[in-house]
């Protein structure tokens, strides 16, 4: 076994803080770090979970490996008695590395929906079957013709009071359910979202439990056409599927009836609030924020470690080739992304806590905080996934040519993460949902009401109108070395962009009759306003985290990252800050200068900062990002395992090349 790469050893020795202390902060305490490592060890030391590199397998083999590991995982989780959702997540992540699992939707959307949208009688019937994996379910909402726009879904469920059944139909080609994970080959049940028709009226979208395959033989049931939608950009392990239903009948009791009901005679009982079903959506979107942080963290870990090991070119003639991490341009690519990964981590933790807190209120019947939570998770889901998606690709290119090899691990991270920009709500649509909430809040403030929560900065707008301050006196108050002061700058930018978008919307409304037309003609401004709002929230939450950190050395290094995140964001959006009179020309020059200074300050801690994420090599799945830094030897070993190297002479030589050479 080769030892640690000398460069990485030197980098780790030079750090100004103890990485494990920062790991504890990321995990939420030393005890949680200990427990996470304990659970990861169960998998890492288990020979059943070893497998060859998935990149060397065909799609069918990858799907089979995923099913093998998912099945094993279910059994081992039972065996070890692991039941806490977070612990299950750690266990799965270690089993699967960076890859999706065909059972994923069974445990998230299918089970979650059964838990939250069923009556007690339905829970009694279905939950033991789902938890015992006697039935394997997926969540069939998206259709070929409609995704994020739920009202456009065309699948129908028509109630027949004579037999007390719902008749499910896919009336058009665009109404075929398309994309649900695990639908193609794995699931035998689906929660299907369909337009409910009863007593001749359409009552809108409702959820139904639909059996799709025969238990035991797994053959599709009569009236069901089901299969896999074919190869995708990534997700080779996942059987994303299609589902077409022709006059398929299910019992009345298969409608999820916690909130709305259809009585035996067909009478429709409507739910108390149409907002109650938001819960699952908000939950999944909050997970995506955490996922953005983790995927970007993994890419940063690979790129920064590799940049410490890789030596290239000459900084000074005649001297040894420097580590590419010593080039300012490389630092400028990677350190802002590292800062972003930390920022998103703290935002993800905040949303998770907020979700759990508000869920308690919702169960008590208090829905007051739901609109803001819905708007916040929609916006942050889009903001973090767009940023992380671009950042992962930036990390790949920062690794030079070797980043393009699958052995770098970054292509896998990218193709697995990138669909989150469009699933669970297409990002631009999400931003416009947030904008709707912002405009509503702005309108309330304009009419003299006060607003609370993350939008309370809009209250200041009415104050400013009463006493317009002189622009110069306000800009002087921003101190670019103080995170708290930078939060104010981002707050002012968000307020200005929300106000500008709201005023443009009003101007369009004054010109034209239709509300929808005005909204569409302002939508670019509205998305920008939402982005500014989300950016402010991220800077605010990152800054708030600093005051909670006891250890001075850790606090100092996180403060550097927080400043870099905030100042880099200003340098990329200088127009907004200048136009609104938040910063002066001279301050913008200081900002760009300070960003470069921070790169040099963060440089000695860069490797320790990615070590603090504490990804095991199995999680990274990367030759370039290995903890020991022995990149080149392992790259050669990896390449030798390529299926093309199984024979010295490929059969195509005899079939095609040799005959061609003979003829010419």
Question: Are the CB atoms for 634 and 5 separated by under 8 Å?
Answer: no
Separation CA 571–CA 466 (nearest Å): 31
Torsions phi, psi for 399 (to 5 deg): -90, 5
C-alpha pair distances (Å), 635 with each of 44, 57, 352, 647: 22, 18, 39, 20
Separation CA 285–CA 289 (nearest Å): 7
115 is catalytic: no
Question: Are the CB atoms for 39 and 91 separated by under 8 Å?
Answer: yes
Q: Which helix (H) or strand (E) holds 219?
A: none
Torsions phi, psi for 165 (to 5 deg): -130, 160
Neighbouring CB atoms inside 10 A of 118's CB total: 21
Phi-psi group of 138: left, alpha or beta (phi > 0 → left; psi -120 to 50 → alpha; rest → beta): beta
Separation CA 656–CA 374 (nearest Å): 60
Residue in 154, 372, 424, 531 annotated catalytic: 424
Q: Classify burial at 157, counting beta carbons within 10 Å of its beta carbon; exposed 0-12, middle 13-18, buried 19 or more.
A: buried
Largest CA distance in the chain: 91
Separation CA 144–CA 192 (nearest Å): 14
Neighbouring CB atoms inside 10 A of 664's CB total: 5
Question: Are the CB atoms for 292 and 419 separated by under 8 Å?
Answer: no
Q: Quote the radius of gyration of the chain (alpha carbons, Å).
A: 27
Q: Classify burial at 187, counting beta carbons within 10 Å of its beta carbon; exposed 0-12, middle 13-18, buried 19 or more.
A: buried
User: What residues act catalytically?
Assistant: 424
């Amino acid at each position: 076994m080769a030892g640690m790469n000398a460069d990485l050893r030197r980098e780790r020795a030079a750090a100004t803080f103890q990485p494990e202390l920062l790991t504890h902060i990321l995990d939420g305490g030393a005890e949680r770090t200990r427990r996470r490592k304990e659970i990861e060890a169960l998998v890492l030391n288990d020979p059943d979970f070893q497998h060859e590199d998935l990149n060397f397998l065909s799609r069918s083999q990858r799907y089979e490996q995923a099913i093998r590991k998912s099945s094993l995982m279910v059994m081992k989780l039972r065996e070890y008695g692991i039941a806490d959702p977070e612990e299950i997540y750690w266990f799965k992540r270690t089993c699967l590395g960076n890859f999706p699992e065909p059972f994923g939707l069974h445990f998230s959307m299918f089970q979650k929906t059964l838990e939250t949208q069923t009556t007690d009688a339905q829970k009694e019937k279905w939950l033991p079957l789902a938890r015992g994996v006697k039935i394997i379910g997926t969540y069939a909402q998206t259709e070929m013709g409609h995704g994020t726009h739920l009202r456009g879904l065309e699948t129908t469920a028509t109630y027949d009071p004579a037999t007390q059944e719902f008749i499910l139909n896919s009336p058009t080609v665009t109404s075929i359910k398309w994309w649900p994970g695990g639908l193609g080959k794995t699931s035998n049940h689906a929660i299907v979202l369909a337009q409910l028709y009863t007593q001749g009226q359409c009552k809108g979208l409702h959820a139904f439990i639909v059996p799709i395959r025969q238990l035991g033989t797994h053959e599709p049931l009569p009236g069901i056409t089901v299969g896999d939608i074919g190869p995708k950009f990534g997700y080779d392990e996942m059987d994303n599927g299609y589902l077409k239903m022709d006059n398929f009948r299910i019992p009345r009791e298969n409608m999820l009836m916690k909130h709305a009901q259809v009585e035996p005679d067909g009478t429709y009982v409507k739910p108390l609030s149409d907002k109650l079903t938001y819960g699952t959506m908000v939950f999944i979107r909050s997970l995506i924020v955490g996922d953005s942080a983790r995927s970007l963290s993994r890419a940063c870990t690979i790129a920064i470690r590799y940049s410490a090991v890789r030596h290239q070119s000459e900084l000074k003639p005649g001297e040894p080739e420097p580590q590419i991490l010593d080039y300012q341009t490389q630092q400028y690519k990677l350190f802002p992304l590292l800062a972003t990964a930390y920022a998103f981590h703290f935002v993800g933790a905040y949303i998770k806590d907020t979700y759990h807190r508000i869920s308690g209120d919702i169960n008590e019947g208090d829905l007051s905080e739901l609109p803001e939570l819905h708007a916040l998770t929609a916006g942050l889901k889009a903001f973090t996934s767009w940023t992380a998606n671009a950042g992962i690709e930036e990390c790949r290119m920062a690794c030079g040519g070797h980043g393009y090899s699958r052995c770098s691990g970054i292509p896998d991270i990218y193709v697995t993460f990138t669909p989150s920009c469009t699933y669970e709500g297409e990002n631009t649509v999400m931003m416009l949902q947030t904008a709707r909430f912002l405009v509503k809040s702005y309108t309330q403030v304009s009419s003299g009401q006060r607003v609370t929560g993350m939008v309370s900065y809009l209250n200041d707008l009415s104050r400013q109108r009463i006493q317009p301050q002189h622009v110069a006196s306000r800009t002087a108050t921003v101190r670019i070395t103080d995170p708290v002061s930078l939060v104010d700058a981002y707050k002012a930018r968000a307020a200005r962009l929300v106000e500008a978008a709201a005023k443009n919307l009003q101007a369009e409304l004054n010109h034209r009759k239709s509300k929808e037309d005005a909204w569409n003609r302002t939508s670019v401004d509205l998305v920008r306003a939402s982005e500014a709002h989300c950016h402010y929230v991220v800077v605010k939450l990152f800054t708030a985290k600093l005051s909670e950190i006891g250890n001075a050395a850790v606090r100092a290094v996180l403060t550097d990252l927080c400043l870099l995140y905030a100042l880099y964001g200003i340098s990329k959006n200088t127009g907004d800050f200048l136009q609104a009179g938040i910063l002066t020309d001279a301050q913008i020059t200081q900002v760009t200068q300070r960003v470069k200074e921070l790169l040099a300050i963060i440089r000695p801690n860069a490797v320790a900062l990615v070590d603090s994420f504490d990804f095991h090599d199995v999680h990274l799945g990367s030759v370039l990002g290995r903890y020991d830094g022995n990149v080149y030897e392992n790259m050669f070993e990896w390449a030798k395992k390529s299926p093309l190297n199984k024979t010295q002479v490929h059969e195509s030589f005899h079939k095609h090349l040799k005959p061609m050479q003979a003829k010419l």
